[in-house]
Structures are given as structure tokens and as C-alpha cells.
Structure 1
Amino acid sequence: MSDNSVLSVKILAVEDDTGDYGLIRVYLRMAGYIQNIVPDPVTWVTTLAQAEQQVVLDRPDIILLDLSLPDSFGISTVKRMRMLLPTVPIIVLSGNNDNDIALAALEEGAQDYVIKGQYEHNALGKAISHALIRAKLEAKLIESEFRWKFAIEGSGDGLWDWDVAQNIVFYSERWKQMLGYAENEVGNGLDEWEMRIHPDDKAGTLASVQAYLTGKSSSYLSEHRVLSKDGDYKWILDRGMVVARDAEGHPIRLIGTHTDITERKRMEDQVRQLAFYDPLTQLPNRRLLNDRLSRAMSAGKRSGGYGALMFLDLDNFKPINDTHDHILTIEAANRLRACVREIDTVARFCGDEFVVMLSELDTNEQASTIEATRVAEKILACLSTPYQLTVKHEGQPDTEVEYHCTTSIGLVLFLGHEICQDDIIICANAAMYQARHAGRNTIRFYQAE
């Protein structure tokens, strides 16, 4: 966000602890949201009742919400604030590092869930910036939705009218134009639609139609991709209803619409990208890593197969990375991707720290240790190979730079839920520091000190 937009953001902090609020102000100032200006962009209240009164007087741009207040506790706090301000982004600030509570808060409409005191690397400032961006994108999604109607004129939707008994379908001119076809280029059979459905979407879409026709579903609504004349697929929201039945109650005529939701899908992808991926490297971020680690632990509990987590810290990383627009971060991320399988996960933890999670290893601990070590050694060798970096200079020719960078790797095996998720990351991080203290450019399995 630009400096001007940061300064114009009105923040409502709902926090009953004076010390925690003081810490919030410190990190807001570090992120540029508080400067020596009047009026103060941050309004502080200590109860939910005060918050409800304040938002009526002055609508905030974003809310920082504590879940433990004198007059409200837990997820109900998010629900009440979301009901009052359905479009204002909410960031929950909690002292409870519980994934279930965090997920529940997000499901109730919170944009993010930040653990109090864990604001390192401008985490709070980034959370606010990303929440504001996501809120704008979500507002565009709402605005892009067409109202449900069957009228052709003015709706912008394509209309279809299906005679079930004769298996004849009328496709409106707009239905055809949406896919790039002229009036005479599409026939009147149901197959004109079926043959254009994306192969990955066809079975589910046709099953939805059949479920509606047989009464197993009370409505028909499907989002699927349809092939256009130019060879591209468009995302279509397909809705329909029975308008006539025979004497036995069987559907004999359906009418429905096609709405082009390609742009909406694109914006949904942007929202998801911001929520789960590091914007610089496109690697999974901490949130997605935690989700995948949880899934890997559950899978290991069922199968008996081990998993492994590596915590990586790049040595001698910061000098060139800060000078040349993070080109080393991007190159290191690309190398890490090439070292693991598709079922494994490479995540950017922060700055020069990465995490690699290996899934579905052997059921034998020794065999899993050997395999995890092999991958770690492969990563160690790959990242220590000199980097040939192209440095761009404004108004001058690009230059090639050779840079040497090694890594310290901490490694820990896990099986099911024998140790908790947070402890797996903590142990791998501790092992990484053991590798650094051993002289860097090495691997260490976690050993309790």
C-alpha cells in the first residue's frame, strides 16, 4: 500500500489489556500506520459494547479484535462484530495459538488470525495490508454477482430452455455470444452444451443435473468451465428450475441461465493467493504450511508412515538479497522446488528461512531417516552451487554476478500426532540452530539439549 493510503486507514482496536494495546501501537507505528498526525488514526475501546457504539459514530476501515473481552468471549465476538459491519475487514488478535479457534474465526468472516506478541517481521502491518486488499477484492466479487433472473433483456445472462421429453434445447443469442458463437453456429441439442463442458467438470455437472431431475436435490446450480469458440474455457454459473411437469410429476421443461463468472473466479484466485502463498516466491506461506503439516500428521497416523520437517536458514544471504531486489530468495525457492517431490511442500517461513516438509515416508524409522537425510543432502548441495544472478540497473546494461551461499538445515522426523504440530516446527528450528553453531553448511537432526 502507498504511504498516503496507509496514513488514511482508520483502525479500531478492541483490546481490554493496556499492555497489549501499547504493543499494538508500537507495531502499527513500525508499519507506518501511526505517525505524528492529528487526529490519531487508531481508536481504542476496551469492550464490545463500546466498539458497537463507536462504529455507529465513525465507521473504521479495519478492526483489530481481541477475543477475550469483559463483555464478550470467543468466536461470538467475531460474529457480533461481523453482523454489525459485514464488509469491514477484521483481524483477530489472540493469545490462544489454537488452530481450531483460528479456523473458526476465519470461517465467521475474520480476514486473519494473529497471535499476540508474534508480530516479528512486520507481521501485523502485513496482516492489515493484506486484509484491506482482500476486502477490496471481495467487494468486487459481490458487485460482480448478477441477480437471479430469467429475463433475457438487460440481465447480460444467456438463457436456455430445455424440452426434456424431446431433448431439444433453445439457446438464446446471448448464450451463444457469451462463448463467441454466431446465431447459426450452435444447434438445438443438449449435446451442444455437454460436449463443451471441461472434461474435469463434466461428471460432477451432469450428476448435479440428474440429481435435480430425480428429486434428490431441491435446486440446480453448477459452476463449471465451458469451451469457447476461441479455444479458451470460460467459467459459467449455470442455474435452472423446472417450470413444467407431466401428470406423474416428472419434469418435462426446464429454464435456466448461464452467467459468465470468469472474472469472479480470477479474483477468487487472487484472494486465495494472498491468503495462502508468499507473494515474492509463490511458495506456500505459514498458514498453508500449517494446514499441510496437519494433514500429513493425520495421514501418518492412518498409514504408519513417517514424515520429516526441515528448517532451512540461508547463510550469507542478506547482503546481496537486500541490495538486489530479493533475486537470491527467488532463485533459492526455485532450486528448493526442484529438489522435492510433488507431494512434498516447500514453504517460505520468513526472510531467509524456508521449511521443507516430506510426506509419506517409510513406516520404518531408520529407512525414513535415510531418505530424509538423502533429500537434505541433495538440498545442501543444490543450494551451495554458485548462483549466477542477473542484476538489472536502471538505464544501464544488466550485469552477471556469481554469488556463493550455503545453508544450515535442521531436521526432525514425526509420526502421526506423537508430538504436537507446533513442537515439530520448534524442534526443526532448534536443530537448524545446532547446524549453524556447528559451522553452517551442514545438517543436524534434532537432539534435545
Structure 2
Amino acid sequence: MSLKEIRKPFTPKLFSFSTQRAPVQTRRSASTVAVEAAKETPILATPAVGRWLLLSSTLVFAIIVVGGVTRLTESGLSITEWRPITGILPPLSHDEWTVEFMKYQATPEFKLMNQSMSLEDFKSIFYMEWGHRILGRLIGVVFVGPLAYFALRKKVSRPMALKLFGLGLLIGFQGALGWYMVKSGLEDSLMDTPGAVPRVSQYRLAAHLGAAFLLYAGMFGTGMAVIKDWKYSRGALWSGVTESTLLTVQKSPLARSFKAKAWVLTGLVFLTAMSGAFVAGLDAGLLYNEFPLMGGRIAPPSDELFSPAYAKSEDKSDLWWRNIFENPTTVQFDHRVLAISTYIATAALFAQTFRPALRAALPPLTRTAMAAAFAMANVQVVLGISTLLYLVPVPLAAAHQAGSVALLSAMIHLLITLRQPGAAARLLRKLNLKKAPVSNFPAC
């Protein structure tokens, strides 16, 4: 046998060995690409994140209502110190109750208004304010704990984590702002002011309520968006429309105009609620308890609306703005004007949804959300007028304040139905539909 014949059988083996390594290299390359693709895939928050945010917003809703009841029952000045940690427990013995009562007896409110109050009466207002503060602490625990978990486990994207940490800081700011508000009603200078009524500053009250509304809007809006994005990523319709129709809606000038008007209306709802805080802070709801007239006329006399008595500068340059924010008559008139404007604007925007061209341009869920917002506006108007006519009873006034949050919620939901799905939701939807295309999904 020649040397060539001996080597000939080995040649295919060498080529065979070479061709066997190629698939291995291909598999490794595909694996590497898959890992890199997974790293680049954006994080989409799960429904658990959305439910946690909605729970947190519900607690904020509750504390807004409890805070209103606390003010209406004149309980807010019963606790004269701010003790974030040690104040968790109420007085547990008679001696501890006596000490707290003595602190309250040193306040202008007790000296000017409640000198006949007994220890038992004091306990009732103390528990109301204590419950309000405990609910605030509970919101902090319910929000911050899960936030740390979701952030550390990378259950939320970095931008959303930063946004949620901002809401967490706002919770802490709310506690400090609440105490800053209470301090304004405990100042001894009230004793030296003729005709002064011991109550918190209406400016600080409006700031405290405004921060609570912003906190609620941030939690509620983000929670709703998270849940809708998740459903959309799994193949659900967005606001009741298909993928092709969604692109048409987003490019429609009519839909864009409607969305801009909805944003303006949401701002008007917020502004009206803030004007209500000034009404509450000045007890302006106890004046002119009739509607739609004020003292038998559309508006009070101009010298009453802009009384020189409220100006503090010698040249009266602050006459206008001080009357707007410090004159109870003007404050109530402004709130009426804003409330009526809000109602008319809501009715007008709702009426536009019946125009054939706009109706065709809007998603079905948007039209439903607009109808819900208009219905809530009607409820809020009835609650507001009833509160005024019946001299601000606690149940009606508390329901009216809750109604303002509910109306804001309806407007936020309306805006979310017009929102574009998030980038992560759009990408994951494409991936999921490629794996398992489905049809007849419910709307989200």
C-alpha cells in the first residue's frame, strides 16, 4: 500500500472535524445576541406596581377627606407639637392626657373659643387630629417600603423609579408642610390682633391641600398608566381601538385639539379645588348662603368685594390681591365663578363628543371617560350648592371635598385614554404578538 493510499482516508475526517465546529460557534453567537437583546429590552412595570400605586392613591384620597373633617370639626390645633416618631402613640394614662390638655389650654384657640371645654371633649378632637397624622405615617410606610423593593429588584425602569422617589420626597414634604400649617394657628400673636379668629393660614392650608392633590394625581395617574401599558403589551386594544386606528387617532388634529382642551379643563378643576381651600380657610362658606344670587344680586357690591380694610400698604397697592385671597366675600365669589366656569367647560367638552367628526376621531374609552367626568361634575355641583345652602354641615362639606378629588380622578383617566402607550409596552407587544398572535382582546 502506498503512502498516498494510507493518508487518503484521513482527509475527509479532517474536513469533517472542521465542519463540526461551525455549528457550535453559531450557537454561541446566537446565545450572546440573545443575552444582549435581553439587556436592551426596556423594563415594563408589572400590574403589581400599578395596584400598589392605586392603593397608595386611595390612602391619599382618604387622608384628604379626613383632613377636611379634621378642619371642619376644628380638631387640627389640638396637638401642639410635631413628633414624627414618638407621636405615634396617643396618651395612655390620665396623667398623660392631662399634660396634653394643659398644652392645648395654652393655645389661642382654647383661650378665645374653648374655655369651657372639658378633658373628655378635648379627647374627641385630639383623636381626630391624631388619626389624621397616623394616616399620613401609614401612607409613608405603604409607599416607601414597596418602592425600595421594586427599585432594588429592577421591577420599574430608571425614569419611573426617579419619578416615584420624587413622590416619596413629596410625602415627607407634606408632613413638614402640615406642621408648618398648624403652627400658623398656634401663634400667640393672634391674641394681640383685634377680632382675630384662631385658625390656620389659608395660604398654608391651600399649599398643603395642593401638595396632597399633586401627590394623589402622581400616584393615581402612574398606577393607571402602568396597568394599561401592561395590558397593551399582552395584546389588549388601547382605549378600544386597533393598532392602525390608534396611529390615526394620534395624528388626528381633532383628537389633538380635544386632548389640549382636556388638559386645560384638568387645570381648571385643580384651580377650583385650590380656591375651595381658601373658602375653607376663611370660613367663607358661612357667608351668603344662597344660590345663584349673593344678597339678592349676581355679585356683591364692588366696595365689599374690594374693601380697603384688607389693604395693608399705605398706598393701597395690595388692595386687589389681598381682597382676592383674604376677603371672605371675594373668596367665596371667586370660588363660585371658578366652579360655574368648570361646570360649563366640562359640559361643553362633553357636548363636543357628539359631533360626528370628533366622535369618529376619538377612541370609545375616551368618550366614555368624558361622560363619566361630566356626570361627576354634576354630582360636585349639587354637593357644592347643598353645602352652601345648609350652612356647611360636616357630612356634606366632606363629601364636597371628596367630590373634588373624584372629579380630578375622572379628568386624569380621560387624559390617560388619550395617552400614547409607553415605548416598553409597544416593543413587548410586538414580541408577544409574534410569539402568539391573538385577536378579540378587551380594551385597556
TM-score, structure 2 normalization: 0.22
Structure with more relative contact order (C-alpha pairs < 8 Å, separation 6 or more) = 2
Instruction: Determine which structure has the larger helix proportion and give its number.
Output: 2
Q: Which entry has the higher C-alpha Rg, 1 or 2?
A: 2
TM-score by length of 1: 0.22
Greater strand share, structure number: 1
